[in-house]
Amino acid sequence: MVLVADDDMSLRSLISAALERQGHSVLLASSAEEAIRISSAAGTAIDVLLTDLSMPGRSGISLAADIRMQRPDIPVVLMSGWPLDEPIVGVLGGAVEILEKPFELSALARAVERALARRT
């Protein structure tokens, strides 16, 4: 199951449809706070966190760090319209994939599959 956290409703819908066509179950969150609630309720059922780097009120890195406090092994795919450098991503440790916006749906599928393959 993939937890998608992004404040852009149209992007969430597009990502959800694409991932479902690839055979993934998807949970959607419009904010970091909602994603944390969903993650707490779903527990180990979530296989990957796919989050935007920049959301109102809280960054995707902060969200990923909080979810990893509950689930240290969860792989993360960070989406960003800006290039990310290693020190920013390095604070998360573990399996992190970067998906630069704009992206093709095939790139989304590859990033999620790489994240799943890197689960510890």
Number of independent structural domains in the chain: 1
pLDDT of residue 120: 52
Cα torsion angle, 51, 93, 73, 114, sign: positive
Residues 6+ apart with CB under 8 A from 11: 52
pTM: 0.91
More confident residue, 80 or 5: 5
Q: Which residues form the domain of 33? A: 2-117
pLDDT in tens, 27-42: 999 999 999 999 999 9
The span from the CA of 96 to the CA of 67, in Å, is 13
**The CATH number of the domain where 68 resides is what?**
3.40.50.2300
> For 79-103, what is the mean pLDDT?
75
